[in-house]
Amino acid sequence: MDMKDFSLEGKVAWVTGASYGIGFAIASAFAAAGAKIVFNDIKQELVDKGIAAYKEEGIEAAGYVCDVTNEEQVQATTQAILDKFGKIDILVNNAGIIKRIPMLEMKASEFRQVIDVDLNAPFIVSKAVIPSMIKNGHGKIINICSMMSELGRETVSAYAAAKGGLKMLTRNIASEYGEYNIQCNGIGPGYIETPQTAPLRVPGNPFNEFILAKTPAHRWGKTSDLQGPAVFLASDASNFVNGHILYVDGGILAYIGKQPQ
């Protein structure tokens, strides 16, 4: 066993939607492991903010304005990255949204919007990047799944449908492209402290107590909890791991929950 297998030295990693949040943490960990970082966001101002935030961490990241649901923008961005760096070794489909609306009150257009970003976009971006990975003889794709890849709950029907689909898209990419030395796996974060979950963590929100009771460690996850697992799945140390969803949830999926006192 050579510990260099965990290194990302010389690799080029594209993390989608990574101006902040989980994507930013994963990209920062990849940089610490030696990778060159590429990220995108929808708005130039966010890309600029992201570049500045990476710079503060000592990371020279390349940022692109790209809406991951727009196939033309994705193909153009993929080509721009390949023109600049010559390859994409690692792709993390991180960009995502959630709408917390009871299903009977959710418009079909709102349902479609969540599916578009959280499921169609990983398909679009993976489809754009895989040909270059085949040419290079290797590639790593990591899809950011969720507890909702396995569980449902009130108000997140679109998000759970998307993340459940993303689990199966992960397994299908693994099945279809494993012969080209491409490994496609998922990370299923538990409940993590990011802007996306901020509404759930406001003081007094019973959901906050609920999640603490459902998590054996009785704490919310931090984006840093995801960094080691992400580096592992992006590195040569995981070359025989394929189609796997690695849940980084503090044990939520294993635990019936703490009984109320």
Pick the piece of the chain touching ligand GCO (CB under 6 A) from 50-58, 151-159, 175-183, 227-235: 151-159
Determine the Cα–Cα distance for residues 29 and 34; give it in Å rounded to an integer.
9
Pick the piece of the chain touching ligand GCO (CB under 6 A) from 30-38, 126-134, 188-196, 238-246: 188-196
- Alpha-carbon torsion 129, 134, 137, 140, what sign? positive
Is residue 222 at the binding interface for ligand GCO, with CB under 6 A as the rule?
Answer: no
Query: Per the residue annotation, which of 64, 159, 177, 247 is the catalytic one?
Result: 159
| Closer by beta carbon to ligand NAP, 46 or else 106 | 46
| Residue owning tokens 């990220």 | 39
Rounded to a whole number of angstroms, the minimum distance from the CB of residue 130 to ligand GCO is 25
- The 83-122 site mask, x for binding ligand NAP (CB under 6 A), equals -----------xxxx-------------------x-----
Q: Which of 156, 158, 174, 184 binds ligand GCO (CB under 6 A)?
A: 156
Active site residue 159: yes
Q: Which of 148, 174, 187, 231 binds ligand GCO (CB under 6 A)?
A: 148
Q: Which of 29, 41, 214, 246 binds ligand NAP (CB under 6 A)?
A: 41
Pick the piece of the chain touching ligand GCO (CB under 6 A) from 101-109, 118-126, 147-155, 178-186: 147-155
Rounded to a whole number of angstroms, the minimum distance from the CB of residue 5 to ligand NAP is 26
* 95-124 residues near ligand GCO, rule: CB under 6 A: 98, 100
When CB distances are held under 5 to 8 angstroms depending on the partner's kind, the choice from ligand GCO, ligand NAP, none that residue 134 binds is none
- Residue 188: name the closest of 150, 238, 240 by CA: 150
Neighbours of 192 (CB within 10 A): 21
| Closer by beta carbon to ligand NAP, 139 or else 190 | 190
CB 105 within 8 A of CB 78: no
| Closer by beta carbon to ligand NAP, 196 or else 239 | 196
**Burial of 1 (C-beta count, 10 Å sphere; 0-12/13-18/19+):** exposed
* 49-68 residues near ligand NAP, rule: CB under 6 A: 67-68
Neighbours of 61 (CB within 10 A): 24
Rounded to a whole number of angstroms, the minimum distance from the CB of residue 143 to ligand GCO is 13
- The residues near 143 (Cβ < 8 Å, ≥ 6 apart) are 92, 93, 122, 166, 167, 169, 170, 184, 185, 186, 187
Q: Kindly give the residue spans of alpha helices, DSSP state H, lying in the chain.
A: 21-32, 44-56, 71-85, 108-115, 121-136, 157-177, 206-214, 227-234
State which amino acid sits at residue 169: L
**Burial of 83 (C-beta count, 10 Å sphere; 0-12/13-18/19+):** exposed
Pick the piece of the chain touching ligand GCO (CB under 6 A) from 27-35, 60-68, 79-87, 193-201: 193-201
Question: Mind telling me the catalytic residues?
Answer: 159
